[in-house]
Structure 1
Amino acid sequence: MSTTEWASRPTGKPTIAGRIEARLRHDILHGTLAPGSRLSLDKLRAELDVGLSPLREAVTRLVSEGLVDVAPQRGYRVTPISIANFTEVGALRAELEPFALRRSIANGGLDWETGVMAALYRVNHTQRDAADPRSRAEWEAANNAFHLALIAGCDMPLLLRTHAMLVAFNDRYRNIYSEAVTVQRDVVEEHTAIAEAAVARRADEAADILKLHIARSVEILIDLIKKTHPDAPDT
């Protein structure tokens, strides 16, 4: 499963509900199912050729993950997006990820250091062509893997699950507004500075650079969204 999706999904052979959940999650995160659009279980059941019971189970899981809303008498709809929501997602990442990095620096051993540097090499050597969806997807996967490697040693499973959820929300905006995403700075240099400070156990420096890195990414995307999609919802 892609790192743009939840990190701690069940392993093994997926159930029917699990396959439906994965399909719907992918379509929501990539904008195929438009934000705010109504989800008709009857139409989905016919389209996916599945039973109502596993479909309800899958949709219920997506409700718990914040990707689907449900309201009495109104049924299900894809959770709307807004600049305010994206700002909140970014703010939470900017607080939680540096905290998790500090924990990893304190707890991580040689395997963690090796994982960080391997992930750094991968992301720094993965090309990103804004005009090529496949290239963008490969870079995003490498980028998310790098961020996960930084905090993998935090020894806090709940924090890791929360982080995976925030990354998925973040990537939803990147996917939907993909044509607006361009490289505005030297990300290779930023990633390298974070990794080198982390494995050298310079916790304050690494956390500060990471927090600025996340905040800068959020600010750039919001600015691009406002310029290229002036009708994008604010709240």
Structure 2
Amino acid sequence: MTYGTADLGDEGAGPKSTLASTVYHQLRDDLLRGVLETESKLRVEWVVSRYGAGASPVREALNRLASEGLLGRHDQRGFFLMPVSAEELEELTRTRCWLEERALRESIAHRTAEWEEQLVLALHRLARAPRRLPDEPSSNNPDWERLHRSFHRALIAACRSHWLVGFCDQLSDQASRYRLMSQVSPAIERDDLGEHRLIAERTLDGDADGAVEALLSHYRLTAAMCMERFAQDEQVRAGAGKASRGRK
């Protein structure tokens, strides 16, 4: 199984593999942060130039990301960013809710003092981090992104199944681009920190039903905000099409 996380080491790796791993982590971070959204195709030459590595480690990194589903790959035609769609978002959200409900219930059922402490710490760190960059209000703070991921990982860390955690991590990766889309939906207001606090409080109280309800509502709200963005984009395309036909 290939995990979507960057936790797995490169034991016994030589210089080439180490360089490929470095490119992989840099490229993966940029993909998940939406930095490469304007690049529909990722040519090896372009990646070589951007990340300052040779063609061989770049191809290794691109193939690794494609095996995780973070990139698409055409035979003989290179790599490309996977397109986003309302249909995929609906399936992704539904599947993520199924798996994380089970993982969260298992974690609550098999709670330990250490797990509770780690969850409290993860929430505390998330609460202290600014979500936006001071100089770029439209961009997320990379530290916040990392701490947000750590919080959601901490929630399910006591589920006693590294397989389940790995699957949830992969779905989290796939959901990252949609979550970035949801942040530019002006029609829906949300209290991110309040949502995370509610999830943590119910989890720590041992209220499995309440914690699951809060977690799934959190994911579904993100999906609803993405759907709003899809609808806005569709309206813009429809308007542009009408304007084009009117000029003929």
TM-score bracket, shorter-length normalisation: 0.7 to 0.9
What does residue 154 of structure 1 align with? Answer: 159
Q: Tell me, in whole angstroms, the C-alpha distance in 2 between the residues paired with 1:48 and 1:188.
A: 34
Give, in angstroms, the shift of residue 98 of structure 1: 1.6
Tell whether the 8 Å contact from 1:36 to 1:79 is kept in structure 2 after alignment.
no
Mean Cα displacement is larger for which, 40-49 or 74-83?
Answer: 40-49
Counterpart pick for 2:172 among 150, 167, 173: 167
Q: Alpha carbons of 1:183 and 1:6: their partners in 2 closer, same or farther (altered >3 Å)?
A: farther
- Pair 1:33–1:128, CA change in 2 (3 A): closer
Contact preservation (8 Å) 1:7, 1:164:
no
Amino acid at match of 1:165: Q
One-letter identity of the residue aligned with 1:41: V
Quote how far apart the aligned CAs of 1:75 are: 2.7
State the distance in 2 between where 1:105 and 1:222 align.
31
Unpaired segments ≥5 residues, structure 2: 238-248
Q: Which moved more, 1:146-155 or 1:38-47?
A: 38-47
Aligned residues of 1:67 and 1:79 also touching (Cα < 8 A):
yes
Provide the C-alpha distance between the structure 1 equivalents of 2:218 and 2:35, rounded to a whole number of angstroms: 29
Deviations 1:129-182 (A, max 9, x none): 596256644443333222111111112112212222222222223335654479
Residue 145 (structure 1) aligned with residue 150 (structure 2): yes
Once the two structures are superposed, residues 166-199 of structure 1 have per-residue CA deviations (whole angstroms, 9 ceiling, x without a partner) of 2222222333565447972334443233222212
Q: Is residue 180–residue 225 contact of structure 1 (8 Å, CA) maintained in 2?
A: no
The more displaced of 79-88 and 25-34 is: 25-34
**Which structure is richer in relative contact order (CA contacts within 8 A, separation 6 or more)?**
1
CA distance in 2, matches of 1:42, 1:136: 29
> Aligned pair in 2 of structure 1 residues 125, 53: CA closer, same or farther (>3 Å)?
closer
Using a 3 Å threshold, how does the CA distance of structure 1 residues 195 and 48 change in structure 2: closer, same or farther?
closer
Partner Cα distance (2:53, 2:227) in 1: 38
CA distance in structure 2 between the partners assigned to 1:177 and 1:204 by the alignment: 26
Aligned length: 228
- Shift of the 179–188 alpha-carbon distance from structure 1 to 2, 3 Å rule, reads closer
- Structure 1 residue aligned with 2:101, among 98, 110, 135? 98
Is residue 191 of structure 2 the alignment partner of residue 186 of structure 1?
yes
Q: Which has the larger radius of gyration?
A: 2
* SS of equivalent to 1:69: strand
CA distance in 2, matches of 1:128, 1:44: 28
Query: Do 1:28 and 1:35's aligned partners in 2 also have CA atoms closer than 8 Å?
Result: no
Structure 1: 5+ residue runs without aligned partners? none
Q: Tell me how far apart the structure 2 counterparts of residues 36 and 206 of structure 1 sit (CA, whole Å).
A: 39
Determine whether 1:71 maps to 2:74.
yes
Q: Distance in 1 between matches of 2:104 and 2:36?
A: 34
Flag as ranges the 4+ runs of structure 1 deviating above 6 A.
11-14
Paired with 1:124 and 1:29, the residues of 2 have a C-alpha distance of 21
Alpha-carbon shift at residue 209 of structure 1 (Å): 2.2
In structure 1, how many angstroms separate the alpha carbons of the residues matched to 2:95 and 2:143? Answer: 25
Q: Percent identity?
A: 31
Give deviations 1:183-218, integer Å, cap 9, x for gaps.
723344432332222122222222222122211221
**1:207 and 2:206 equivalent?**
no
Aligned residue type for 2:36 = L
Contact 1:39 1:78 in 2 (8 A): yes
